[in-house]
C-alpha cells in the first residue's frame, strides 16, 4: 500500500512537469499574454488601385501595458505598405507576428503616454482584390444554373481575434469608378453611397454602453457582387423596341396602324 | 370554376370596354419600353442594381397584368425568365416558389372545393341561401358580405375564410347565370368577397396574426396597450363603413345585369332545392369534412393544448384534401385545379419577393420617409401620407408580416421623433395592414376569388383603389372624431 502511494505521488509529479513542458513547447515564442489594450474604434477602408486593393486600417485606442498595439492579421493576402502613429511614437513599421487565441496577429511596439489614446494607421496592399474572375468552363454536363456572366465577386472578412472587443467597428469598400454594386449578400444592414465619384458600400457596427460593436471572437463579412455600370443597356433597348414594335404590328388591326390583317378584319 | 382556355386566350378583346381594349393593345409595348427605361436609368443612390432590375421586372409585369395584353399566366412565366436572366433573383429561389405554402394551400383548397361541388352540397347550400336570403342580386351580395363579417370573428385566417366561402360563391354565380368575364354580378360578387374578407379582417384584432404583431410593436416601442375591444371599437366602424361604401359604389362601377336568379327565379330555385331531397351520404361526408376543416382552422391557437401538436393552416387544408380522396368523395379525374392560376401565383410571388429580397421596396419606403419633414407639416397631412403609404404598401410588399415589420416600427419612430402620439399614427396604420385588395397576387384570398375568372386585374385594381381611397378618407375623418372620442389624442 505504502509503496503504491509513493509510486502514485511520483507519477503525479511527473505528469505535472510533463504537462508544463508540453505547454511551453506548444505555445509560440512570441505569444502575448493579453494586456488591457483598449480598442475604441477600428475603421477599415478598402479602395481599388488597378486590380489590387489598398486596405487602410485606422485603429484608435489605448496601447497595452507592455506598450504594444495588437491587431489581427488580415484574412486576405496583404503586405504592409506603411504604418504610422498619431499621439505617440512607433518603434518600427514592421510588426512582430504573434499568436493570440491560436490566430495570427500583428504587434507594434509603441511609445506613448500611459492611458492616453493614440491612432495607428496601417496601409496594406492586397493583390488582385479587384481582378476580373478567371475564365472557367461555361457549365457542367447538366447545363448549370441560369445566371449573369458579367458579375464579379467581392468578399472580405474581419475577425476580431483580440482578447478584447472593439467598441466601434466600421468598414467601407470603394469600387472602381466605372463599376456599381449589383447585390449585397452580407451583411443585412449596409449603406450604399458615392465617394469621389466611386460607389462605396459601408458597414458600421457601433457599440453601446457595455456592449461592443464587435465582440471578442466576432467577425464581420462584406460579401457582394458588382459589375461594369450600364453594361448591356444597348442590347436591352434594341430588344425592347423590337418587341414593342412587333406587338404593335401584331395588334395593328386595333391600333389603327393598318395593314393587310387590319384591312382583312375590317 | 373555369379553365384557362375558357378565360383568357391571347389578345382577347371580347367583352372588354374600350379602355380595356386600349390597354390591351399597348400593354406589351409599354411594359417592355418601361423595363428598358428603368434598366438603363442610373442606379439611384442607396439602391443596388439588383433592386433596380427587380423593380423594373415587377412594374413591367404589373403593366402586363393590368393591361392583360397577354394572359396572366404567360406574364408570370415571363417574370420567372426575366428574374433569372437579369439576376434580379437567383434561379433556385425563383423555382422554389412553386413549393411555397401559398401554392399548396391553393391546390388543397381547389381539391376541397371540387369535393364540395361534386357531392352537390355546395349547390344545396347556395340554393338554400339564395332561396332564403338571395331573392335579389343586392340581397345575395349583402348576404355574402355578412357571412364574411361573421367568419372574421370565428376563423383567424383570411385564406381559410376565403376557402370556406369560395365553394358557396361558385354555385351562387351559377344561380345568377354569371358568365366569367361578362357578368357584372360575377365581378361584384367575387371582388366584394375578397374586399369583405380583407376589410373585415382589419376590424377584428385576432382575424390575422400580423395585426397582433402590430399591437406588440405599439406596446414595446410606443408604450401603448391596445386591447381586443379597443381595437374593435376603433377599427370596426371604419371597416363597416368602408364595406358599406364598397357595396354601394360597386353598383355604380359594375351595375349588375341581373336582379334575380336565372330562369323562373326564386321559385325555380326552391323547386330545385326540394327536388334534391334529403342529404345523401356523400353530402354528409362533405359536410363533416367541411366542419372538421373549419374547426381546425378556428381552433388554431389551441391545437397544442388540445392535441399536443400544432396543425398549420396549410396542413389542415392538405388533411382535408387527403380525406376527400380517402373517403371516396373525390377522384383525381374529378379534381379541378386551375394550373394557370398556380403559374400566375408563382410568377406574382416571385416578382414581389424579388422586390423585397433585393431591398428595393424598403429602400423606396426609407426614401419617402426621409423626404418627409414631419416637423414642418400639419398633423392631417402627415396622417394622410402615413395612411396612404401603409394602405397602398401592399402593392409592393405582398406579405402582411413584412409590411407590419417594416411599417409599424418606422411610424412609431416617426411619431415619437415629432412629438405625436404613436397611437394616433401607428394604430390607424395598423388598421390598413390587411388592406390587400388592389391586385390578385396581393394575398391568397384574392388569388382564390380571381381563379373564378369573373373579373380582370383591371376590374379589381380600379374597384380596390376607389375603396381604399374611401377608407383612407374615413380614417382621416376618424382621427378627428372617433379616435379622439376613444381617447386617442394627437399629441403625447
- pLDDT given at position A19: 53
- In B, which residues are within 8 Å of A236 by CB distance? 35-36, 39-40
- pLDDT given at position B121: 83
Nearest CA in chain B to A179: B49
Same domain (yes/no): A93, A222: yes
| A187 falls within a domain | yes
- Asked whether the beta carbons of residue B39 and residue A184 sit closer than 8 angstroms, the reply is no
| A93 falls within a domain | yes
Q: Which of residues 193-232 of A touch B (CB under 8 A)?
A: 193-194, 227, 229-230
| B268 falls within a domain | yes
Mean model confidence pLDDT for chain A: 82
Interface confidence, given as ipTM, is 0.79
* Contact assessment for residue A78 and residue A125, using Cβ atoms and an 8 Å cutoff: yes
- Asked whether the beta carbons of residue A146 and residue B91 sit closer than 8 angstroms, the reply is yes
Higher pLDDT, B374 or A205: A205
User: What proportion of chain B, given as a percentage, has pLDDT over 70?
Assistant: 95
Q: Which of B25, B39, B50 sits opposite A251 (nearest CB)?
A: B25
**pLDDT tops 90 at residue B336:** no
- Mean pLDDT is lowest, of A7-21, B108-122, B219-233, B381-395, for A7-21
Higher pLDDT, B58 or B15: B58
Q: Range of A107's domain?
A: 38-134+149-228
**pLDDT tops 90 at residue A129:** yes
User: What proportion of chain B, given as a percentage, has pLDDT over 90?
Assistant: 40
Same domain (yes/no): A171, A156: yes
Residues in chain A: 266
Taking every pair of Cα atoms in chain A, the longest distance, rounded to a whole number of angstroms, is 121
**pLDDT tops 80 at residue B61:** yes
Pairwise CA distance, residues B156 & B297, whole Å = 7
C-alpha cell at A224: 457582394
Nearest CA in chain A to B81: A146
Q: Which of residues 65-104 of A touch B (CB under 8 A)?
A: none
Nearest CA in chain A to B42: A230
Residue B77 touches partner A, C-beta closer than 8 Å: no
Same domain (yes/no): A212, A247: no
Task: Tally the domains of chain B.
Answer: 1
**What are the pLDDT digits (tens) for A32-43?**
434 578 999 999
Give B452: exposed, middle or buried? Use CB within 10 Å, 0-12, 13-18, 19+. buried
Mean pLDDT of B337-365: 85
**pLDDT tops 50 at residue B11:** no
Cell 376613444: give the residue: B486
| B302 falls within a domain | yes
**pLDDT tops 80 at residue A259:** no
- Mean pLDDT is lowest, of B24-28, B374-378, B387-391, B411-415, for B374-378
Provide long-range contacts, Cβ within 8 A and 24+ apart, for B368-375: B369/B410, B369/B414, B372/B414, B374/B414, B374/B417, B374/B418, B374/B420, B375/B418
Pairwise CA distance, residues B150 & A263, whole Å = 56
Same domain (yes/no): A174, A54: yes
**What are the pLDDT digits (tens) for B175-216?**
888 888 889 999 999 999 999 999 999 998 878 878 888 888
**pLDDT tops 90 at residue B318:** yes
DSSP string over B179-230: -TTT-HHHHHHHHHHHHHHHHHHHHSGGGSHHHHHHHHHHHHHH-----HHH
- In A, which residues are within 8 Å of B33 by CB distance? 240-241, 244
Residue B41 touches partner A, C-beta closer than 8 Å: no
Mean pLDDT of B432-451: 90
Task: Tally the domains of chain A.
Answer: 2
The three-state secondary structure class of B355 is: helix
In 3D space, the residue among B434, B465, B416, B446 whose CA is nearest the CA of residue B166 turns out to be B446
- Asked whether the beta carbons of residue A236 and residue B43 sit closer than 8 angstroms, the reply is no
| A46 falls within a domain | yes
| B66 falls within a domain | no
Same domain (yes/no): A220, A254: no
Mean pLDDT of A214-218: 91
Pairwise CA distance, residues B314 & B444, whole Å = 12
- pLDDT given at position B417: 77
Q: How many CB pairs under 8 A join A and B?
A: 83
Same domain (yes/no): A160, A246: no
**What are the pLDDT digits (tens) for B381-418?**
889 999 999 999 888 777 787 788 778 888 888 888 77
**What are the pLDDT digits (tens) for B248-267?**
999 999 999 888 777 555 67
Mean model confidence pLDDT for chain B: 86
Pairwise CA distance, residues B465 & A104, whole Å = 62
In 3D space, the residue among A104, A113, A121, A110 whose CA is nearest the CA of residue A32 turns out to be A104
Taking the CA of residue B269 and the nearest CA in chain A, the distance in Å comes to: 43
User: Cis ω on the peptide bond leading into residue A187 (within 30° of 0)?
Assistant: yes
Same domain (yes/no): A126, A237: no
**What are the pLDDT digits (tens) for A154-167?**
999 999 988 889 99
- pLDDT given at position B290: 84
- Mean pLDDT is lowest, of B112-126, B138-152, B449-463, for B112-126
Mean pLDDT of A194-219: 91
- pLDDT given at position A262: 37
- pLDDT given at position A47: 95
| B88 falls within a domain | no
- Mean pLDDT is lowest, of A242-251, B119-128, B385-394, for B119-128
Same domain (yes/no): A157, A200: yes
Mean pLDDT of B139-148: 88
pTM of the model: 0.77
Mutate to test the interface with A, among B27, B34, B44, B49 (most CBs of A within 10 A): B49
Same domain (yes/no): A95, A169: yes
| B197 falls within a domain | yes
| B238 falls within a domain | yes
| B191 falls within a domain | yes
Same domain (yes/no): A216, A255: no
| B353 falls within a domain | no
| A15 falls within a domain | no
Q: Range of B105's domain?
A: 101-208+228-334
Same domain (yes/no): A213, A251: no
User: What proportion of chain A, given as a percentage, has pLDDT over 70?
Assistant: 78
Same domain (yes/no): A175, A240: no
Q: Which helix (H) or strand (E) holds B387?
A: helix B379-392
| A22 falls within a domain | no
Amino acid at each position: 500500500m505504502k509503496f503504491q502511494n509513493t509510486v502514485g505521488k511520483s507519477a503525479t509529479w511527473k505528469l505535472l512537469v510533463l504537462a508544463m513542458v508540453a505547454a511551453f513547447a506548444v505555445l509560440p515564442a512570441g505569444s502575448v499574454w493579453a494586456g488591457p489594450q483598449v480598442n475604441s474604434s477600428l475603421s477599415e477602408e478598402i479602395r481599388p488601385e488597378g486590380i489590387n486593393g489598398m486596405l487602410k486600417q485606422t485603429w484608435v485606442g489605448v496601447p497595452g501595458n507592455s506598450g504594444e498595439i495588437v491587431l489581427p492579421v488580415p484574412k486576405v493576402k496583404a503586405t504592409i505598405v506603411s504604418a504610422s502613429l498619431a499621439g505617440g511614437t512607433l518603434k518600427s513599421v514592421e510588426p512582430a507576428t504573434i499568436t493570440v487565441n491560436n490566430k495570427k496577429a500583428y504587434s507594434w511596439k509603441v511609445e506613448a503616454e500611459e492611458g492616453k489614446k493614440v491612432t495607428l494607421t496601417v496601409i496594406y496592399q492586397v493583390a488582385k482584390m479587384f481582378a476580373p474572375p478567371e475564365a472557367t468552363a461555361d457549365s457542367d454536363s447538366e447545363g448549370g444554373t441560369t445566371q449573369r456572366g458579367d458579375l464579379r465577386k467581392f468578399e472580405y472578412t474581419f475577425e476580431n481575434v483580440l482578447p478584447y472587443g472593439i467598441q466601434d467597428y466600421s468598414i467601407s469598400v470603394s469600387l472602381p469608378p466605372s463599376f456599381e454594386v449589383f447585390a449585397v449578400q452580407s451583411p443585412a444592414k449596409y449603406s450604399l453611397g458615392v465617394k469621389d465619384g466611386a460607389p462605396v458600400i459601408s458597414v458600421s457596427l457601433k457599440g453601446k454602453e457595455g456592449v461592443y460593436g464587435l465582440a471578442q471572437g466576432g467577425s464581420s463579412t462584406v460579401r457582394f457582387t458588382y459589375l461594369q455600370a450600364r453594361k448591356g443597356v444597348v442590347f436591352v433597348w434594341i430588344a425592347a423596341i423590337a418587341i414593342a414594335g412587333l406587338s404593335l404590328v401584331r395588334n395593328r388591326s386595333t391600333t389603327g396602324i393598318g395593314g393587310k390583317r387590319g384591312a382583312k378584319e375590317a | 370554376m373555369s379553365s384557362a382556355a375558357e378565360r383568357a386566350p391571347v389578345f382577347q378583346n371580347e367583352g372588354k370596354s374600350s379602355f380595356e381594349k386600349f390597354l390591351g393593345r399597348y400593354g406589351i409595348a409599354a411594359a417592355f419600353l418601361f423595363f428598358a427605361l428603368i434598366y438603363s436609368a442610373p442606379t439611384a443612390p442607396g439602391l443596388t442594381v439588383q433592386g433596380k432590375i427587380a423593380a423594373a421586372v415587377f412594374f413591367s409585369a404589373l403593366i402586363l397584368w393590368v393591361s392583360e395584353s397577354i394572359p396572366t399566366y404567360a406574364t408570370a412565366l415571363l417574370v420567372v425568365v426575366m428574374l433569372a436572366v437579369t439576376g434580379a433573383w437567383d434561379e433556385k429561389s425563383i423555382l422554389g416558389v412553386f413549393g411555397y405554402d401559398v401554392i399548396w394551400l391553393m391546390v388543397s383548397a381547389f381539391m376541397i372545393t371540387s369535393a364540395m361541388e361534386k357531392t352537390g352540397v355546395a349547390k344545396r347550400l347556395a340554393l338554400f341561401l339564395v332561396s332564403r336570403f338571395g331573392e335579389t342580386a343586392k340581397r345575395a351580395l349583402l348576404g355574402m358580405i355578412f357571412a364574411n363579417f361573421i367568419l372574421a370573428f370565428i376563423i383567424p385566417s383570411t385564406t381559410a375564410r376565403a376557402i370556406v366561402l369560395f365553394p358557396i360563391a361558385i354555385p351562387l354565380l351559377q344561380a345568377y347565370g354569371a358568365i366569367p368575364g361578362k357578368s357584372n354580378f360575377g365581378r361584384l360578387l367575387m371582388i366584394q368577397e375578397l374586399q369583405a374578407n380583407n376589410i373585415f379582417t382589419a376590424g377584428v384584432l385576432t382575424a390575422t396574426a400580423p395585426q397582433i404583431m402590430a399591437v406588440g410593436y405599439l406596446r414595446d416601442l410606443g408604450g401603448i396597450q391596445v386591447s381586443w375591444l379597443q381595437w374593435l371599437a376603433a377599427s370596426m366602424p371604419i371597416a363597416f363603413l368602408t364595406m358599406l361604401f364598397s357595396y354601394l359604389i360597386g353598383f355604380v362601377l359594375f351595375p349588375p345585369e341581373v336582379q334575380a336568379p336565372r330562369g323562373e327565379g326564386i321559385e325555380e330555385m326552391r323547386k330545385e332545392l326540394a327536388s334534391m331531397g334529403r342529404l345523401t351520404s356523400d353530402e354528409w361526408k362533405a359536410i363533416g369534412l367541411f366542419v372538421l376543416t373549419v374547426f381546425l382552422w378556428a381552433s388554431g391557437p389551441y391545437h397544442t393544448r388540445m392535441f399536443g401538436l400544432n396543425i398549420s393552416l396549410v396542413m389542415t387544408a392538405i388533411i382535408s384534401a387527403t380525406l376527400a380522396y380517402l373517403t371516396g368523395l373525390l377522384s383525381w379525374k374529378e379534381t379541378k385545379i386551375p394550373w394557370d392560376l398556380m403559374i400566375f401565383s408563382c410568377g406574382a410571388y416571385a416578382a414581389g419577393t424579388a422586390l423585397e429580397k433585393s431591398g428595393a421596396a424598403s429602400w423606396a419606403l426609407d426614401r419617402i420617409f426621409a423626404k418627409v419633414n414631419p416637423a414642418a407639416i400639419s398633423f392631417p397631412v402627415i396622417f394622410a401620407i402615413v395612411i396612404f403609404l401603409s394602405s397602398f404598401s401592399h402593392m409592393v410588399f405582398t406579405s402582411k408580416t413584412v409590411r407590419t415589420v417594416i411599417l409599424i416600427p418606422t411610424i412609431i419612430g416617426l411619431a415619437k421623433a415629432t412629438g405625436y402620439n404613436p397611437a394616433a399614427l401607428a394604430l390607424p396604420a395598423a388598421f390598413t395592414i390587411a388592406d390587400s385588395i388592389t391586385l390578385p397576387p396581393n394575398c391568397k384570398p384574392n388569388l382564390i376569388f380571381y381563379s373564378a375568372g369573373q373579373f380582370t386585374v383591371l376590374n379589381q385594381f380600379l374597384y380596390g383603389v376607389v375603396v381604399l381611397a374611401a377608407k383612407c378618407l374615413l380614417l382621416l375623418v376618424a382621427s378627428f372624431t372617433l379616435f379622439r372620442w376613444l381617447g386617442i389624442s394627437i399629441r403625447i
